[in-house]
C-alpha cells in the first residue's frame, strides 16, 4: 500500500442494501480532532469538474487532524441510481444524512460538520436546519434553487444540440450532460436559503469572486443567532473549468481548513494556508455491493434481460495498490469465457467518465454478461502520483504499463481483454494494443480519438488543428449560408486555402507511404499509423472505432491511415461505426444511450455466443 506519515484514504460503499452510496474516508493517523467533516459535492457537471479540488480539500482536512468523508449522492458518481430517477432532491438530502451517520461511525466523533460546494452547499444548509452541527461551510452556495435551474437551462441553450432537443425545453433540462427532470426542477425551485435558518451557530460563507458580494450574503441568518463569517475567494472559474484545465484553489482550501480548526476551538479568525501534497494510502472496506440496472443493456439483442443485477467492487491494484478502479460484473454469470473490458480515463475526468458515461457503459456491459473495470491512471481521479506537478495529465506516459497492471490483477478471473476508451482513453487503448505483447488482448475499441501519437509539449487546445479545421470546413460546405458568407467576402479565404493545402499534403504523404510500404519500398517510420494498425492486426487483435459524425476523429484516421483501414476492413480486422450528430463526449442522453447500445451489441456479437 502507498505509505504516508500523515493520512490514510479508504474507499467504501455504504447506505442502503441494493441502493448503495460510494465514498472516500480521509483520516489522520494521529492528532485526531474531536469533530469529523462531511463534504457535500455539487451536482451535475460541476460534480465532475470539482472532483479533484474536493479530493485535495479532504486530504488537507485529514492532515490537519480532521477526519473527513466525501461521497457521491444517490444517482451520481459511483453510487447507485440515475438522474432520471424520481425524488432526486429528497434522495440527495437523504444521502447527506447517511454520509453523516457513516462519518460518525468511522471516526467515532459525536460532533459533525458539513462543507458544501454550490448546490452541495445549499443542501448542507438545509440539513443544518434540521440537526445540530459543529460548523457549516457554504462554498459558493446557490441561494435559490430556481436560479440554479435557470443556469442549467442557459447552459443547455448554448449547446449545439439545442434545436434538436427543443421539445424538452419545458420539461427536462440537460445541461452539461446531466439531466434535471420536471420533478427535480420543480423541487429545486422551492429552495430558498433566505428562508432556511440553520440550527447551529458557526457558519462560513465562501463567496465567488465573479459575483457581487451583496448577492451572496446571508446576513438575515445573523438575526437568528447564527455566527457568520465571510471569505471571498479568487479562482472560481478555475475550479469549475473543464477537468483538464482545473486549478486546485489551495489557498482557499487552506483558509477553509484554518477557519474550521479555529471555529472548533471557539475562534472565528481566518488563518494562513498550509502545504498540500498528494500521497496517501488506500485501505478498502465494504468492498462489494450489488445493484440493479434498470436501463436495457442490449435493446433488440439476445441478452437474458432477467439477469439485470450486477455487482460492483472497489478495486485498488498495481504496485502498493496505488491505482484505483471500480469493477462491475454480472451477479448471476461470472463471464469467465468472455473478455474483461478495461476503460481508461477520458481526458482528466475521473473514472466515472464525462457525463457519467463510463458508469453507464460499465454497468450495462456487465448486465450483458461481461466484467468491466473503469480505472484511473496515475495522477487522475483517485489514483496516486508522487509528483503533484504531473497530476491531471490527460495523456499519461505510463498508461500502457498501468493498464497492464490492471490486466495482471484480473488475469486469474478472465482469459482475455478488450481495452477501450474515449478521447485520450482511446489513445491509451491503442497503445496498449500496440505495446503490450504479454497479455491476451483480443481488441482495442477506440471512441472519438483525437490523436494517435501524443508528444510532450503538445497542446490540448490545438489538438489536432489541421484535422479539426478540415472537418469544420468539410461540414460547412453543405450549408448554403456559409457559401453566401464566402461570396460576400466575409470568410477567411486565406485560412481556408491554407487548411485545404495542408490537408492535401498530409493525405498525399500518407497515401504514398502506404503504397510504398505495401510494395516493400518504404522502411519503418516512427508514428506511422498505417504500419501500427497493421502491427496490431498481425497479432490477431481486432481494432474497432466509434465516431461521432461531428467529431474530427474519422478524418484523422483516414488522412493518416487510409491504405491500412481499407485493407484491414476487407479482412474484417477493423470495424467502424458512427453516431450521427453526437458531440465529442456524448453530452445528450440520447447519444449516450445510442453509444452504450452500440458498444454492448458489438461485444455481444463478437464474444457472447
Q: How confident is the model at residue 335, as a pLDDT?
A: 57
Per the domain annotation, does 515 fall within a domain? no
Query: Which of 264, 283, 302 is the last residue in one of the domains?
Result: 264
Report the half-sphere exposure of 149 (CA within 13 A, side-chain side).
22
205/323 same-domain check: no
Query: Which of 209, 239, 264 is the last residue in one of the domains?
Result: 264
425/318 same-domain check: yes
Per the domain annotation, does 181 fall within a domain? no
C-alpha to C-alpha distance for 378 and 382, rounded to whole angstroms:
8
Here the cell at position 180 is 434535471
223/339 same-domain check: no
**Distant-in-sequence, close-in-space partners of 329: CB < 8 Å, separation ≥ 6:** 310, 311, 312, 313, 335, 366, 370, 371, 372
Longest alpha-carbon distance in the chain: 85
203/340 same-domain check: no
Q: How confident is the model at residue 347, as a pLDDT?
A: 95
Q: How confident is the model at residue 1, as a pLDDT?
A: 33
> 140: closest CA among 40, 263, 276, 26?
40
**Distant-in-sequence, close-in-space partners of 113: CB < 8 Å, separation ≥ 6:** 35, 36, 37, 38, 133, 134, 135, 136, 137, 260, 264
252/349 same-domain check: no
C-alpha to C-alpha distance for 18 and 15, rounded to whole angstroms:
9
209/325 same-domain check: no
Secondary structure (DSSP) of 341-399? EEEE-STT--TT-GGGHHHHHHHHHHHTT--EEEEEPTTSTT---S-GGGTT-SS-TTH
255/391 same-domain check: no
254/332 same-domain check: no
> 322: closest CA among 251, 285, 275, 376?
376
Per the domain annotation, does 491 fall within a domain? no
Per the domain annotation, does 384 fall within a domain? yes
233/361 same-domain check: no
Here the cell at position 417 is 481483454
Q: How confident is the model at residue 271, as a pLDDT?
A: 39
Query: Which of 264, 294, 323 is the last residue in one of the domains?
Result: 264
**Residues of the chain with confidence (pLDDT) below 70:** 1-5, 31, 158-170, 266-308, 334-336, 459-526, 609
Per the domain annotation, does 289 fall within a domain? no
The helix or strand, by DSSP H or E, that contains position 315, with its residue range, turns out to be strand 309-317
Whichever domain contains 23, its CATH number is 3.40.50.1820
What are the beta bridge partners of residue 330?
310
The 10s digit of each residue's pLDDT in 275-328 is: 333 444 555 555 666 666 555 444 443 333 344 588 999 999 999 899 999 999
Question: Range of 49's domain?
Answer: 7-144+191-264
The 10s digit of each residue's pLDDT in 90-146 is: 999 999 999 999 999 999 999 999 999 999 999 999 999 999 999 999 999 999 999
Per the domain annotation, does 572 fall within a domain? yes
122/46 same-domain check: yes
259/356 same-domain check: no
What are the beta bridge partners of residue 418?
341, 443
Q: How confident is the model at residue 585, as a pLDDT?
A: 95
The 10s digit of each residue's pLDDT in 336-389 is: 689 999 999 999 999 999 999 999 999 999 999 999 999 999 999 999 998 888
Per the domain annotation, does 84 fall within a domain? yes
Number of domains in the chain: 2
What are the beta bridge partners of residue 566?
none
405/539 same-domain check: yes
Q: How confident is the model at residue 301, as a pLDDT?
A: 38
Per the domain annotation, does 33 fall within a domain? yes
> 398: closest CA among 417, 411, 379, 382?
379
Q: How confident is the model at residue 293, as a pLDDT?
A: 59
Amino acid at each position: 500500500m502507498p505509505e504516508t506519515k500523515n493520512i490514510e484514504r479508504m474507499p467504501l460503499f455504504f447506505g442502503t442494501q441494493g441502493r448503495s452510496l460510494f465514498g472516500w474516508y480521509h483520516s489522520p493517523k494521529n492528532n485526531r480532532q474531536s469533530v469529523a467533516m462531511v463534504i457535500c459535492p455539487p451536482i451535475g457537471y460541476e460534480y465532475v469538474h470539482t472532483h479533484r479540488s474536493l479530493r485535495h480539500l479532504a486530504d488537507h482536512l485529514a492532515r490537519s487532524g480532521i477526519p473527513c468523508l466525501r461521497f457521491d449522492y444517490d444517482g451520481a458518481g459511483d453510487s447507485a441510481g440515475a438522474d432520471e430517477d424520481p425524488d432526486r432532491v429528497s434522495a440527495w438530502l437523504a444521502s447527506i444524512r447517511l454520509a453523516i451517520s457513516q462519518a460518525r461511525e468511522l471516526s467515532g466523533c459525536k460532533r459533525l460538520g458539513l462543507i458544501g460546494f454550490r448546490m452541495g452547499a445549499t443542501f448542507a444548509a438545509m440539513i443544518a436546519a434540521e440537526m445540530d452541527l459543529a460548523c457549516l461551510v457554504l462554498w459558493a452556495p446557490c441561494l435559490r434553487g430556481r436560479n440554479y435551474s435557470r443556469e442549467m437551462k442557459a447552459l443547455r441553450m448554448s449547446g449545439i444540440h439545442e434545436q434538436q432537443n427543443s421539445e424538452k425545453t419545458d420539461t427536462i433540462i440537460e445541461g452539461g450532460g446531466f439531466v434535471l427532470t420536471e420533478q427535480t426542477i420543480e423541487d429545486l425551485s422551492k429552495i430558498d436559503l433566505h428562508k432556511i435558518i440553520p440550527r447551529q451557530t458557526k457558519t462560513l460563507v465562501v463567496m465567488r469572486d465573479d459575483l457581487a458580494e451583496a448577492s451572496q450574503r446571508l446576513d438575515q441568518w445573523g438575526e437568528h443567532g447564527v455566527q457568520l463569517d465571510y471569505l471571498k475567494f479568487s479562482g472560481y472559474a478555475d475550479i469549475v473549468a473543464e477537468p483538464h484545465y482545473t486549478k486546485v484553489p489551495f489557498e482557499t482550501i487552506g483558509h477553509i481548513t484554518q477557519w474550521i480548526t479555529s471555529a472548533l476551538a471557539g475562534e472565528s479568525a481566518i488563518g494562513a494556508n498550509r502545504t498540500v501534497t498528494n500521497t496517501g494510502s488506500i485501505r478498502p472496506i465494504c468492498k462489494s455491493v450489488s445493484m440493479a440496472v434498470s436501463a436495457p443493456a442490449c435493446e433488440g439483442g439476445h441478452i437474458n434481460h432477467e439477469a439485470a443485477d450486477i455487482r460492483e467492487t472497489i478495486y485498488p491494484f498495481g504496485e502498493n495498490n496505488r491505482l484505483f478502479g471500480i469493477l462491475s460484473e454480472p451477479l448471476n454469470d461470472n463471464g469467465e469465457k468472455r473478455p474483461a473490458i478495461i476503460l481508461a480515463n477520458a481526458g482528466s475526468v475521473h473514472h466515472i467518465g464525462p457525463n457519467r458515461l463510463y458508469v453507464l457503459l460499465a454497468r450495462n456491459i456487465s448486465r450483458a454478461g461481461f466484467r468491466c473495470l473503469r480505472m484511473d491512471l496515475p495522477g487522475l481521479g483517485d489514483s496516486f502520483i508522487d509528483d503533484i506537478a504531473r497530476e491531471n495529465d490527460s495523456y499519461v506516459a505510463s498508461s500502457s504499463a498501468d493498464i497492464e497492471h490492471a490486466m495482471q490483477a484480473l488475469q486469474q478471473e478472465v482469459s482475455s481483454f478488450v481495452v477501450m476508451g474515449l478521447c485520450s482513453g482511446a489513445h491509451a487503448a491503442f497503445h496498449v494494443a500496440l505495446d503490450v505483447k504479454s497479455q491476451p488482448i483480443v481488441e482495442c475499441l477506440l471512441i472519438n480519438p483525437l490523436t494517435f501519437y501524443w508528444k510532450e509539449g503538445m497542446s490540448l487546445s490545438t489538438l489536432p488543428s489541421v484535422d479539426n479545421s478540415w472537418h469544420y470546413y468539410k461540414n460547412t460546405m453543405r450549408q448554403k449560408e456559409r457559401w453566401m458568407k464566402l461570396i460576400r467576402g466575409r470568410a477567411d479565404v486565406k485560412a481556408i486555402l491554407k487548411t485545404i493545402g495542408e490537408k492535401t499534403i498530409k493525405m498525399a504523404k500518407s497515401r504514398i507511404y502506404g503504397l510504398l510500404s505495401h510494395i516493400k519500398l518504404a522502411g519503418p517510420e516512427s508514428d506511422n499509423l498505417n504500419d501500427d494498425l497493421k502491427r496490431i492486426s498481425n497479432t490477431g487483435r481486432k481494432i474497432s472505432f466509434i465516431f461521432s459524425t461531428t467529431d474530427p476523429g474519422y478524418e484523422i484516421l483516414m488522412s493518416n491511415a487510409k491504405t491500412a483501414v481499407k485493407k484491414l476492413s476487407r479482412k474484417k480486422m477493423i470495424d467502424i461505426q458512427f453516431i450521427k450528430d453526437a458531440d465529442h463526449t456524448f453530452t445528450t442522453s440520447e447519444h449516450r444511450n445510442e453509444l452504450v447500445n452500440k458498444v454492448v451489441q458489438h461485444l455481444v456479437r463478437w464474444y457472447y455466443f
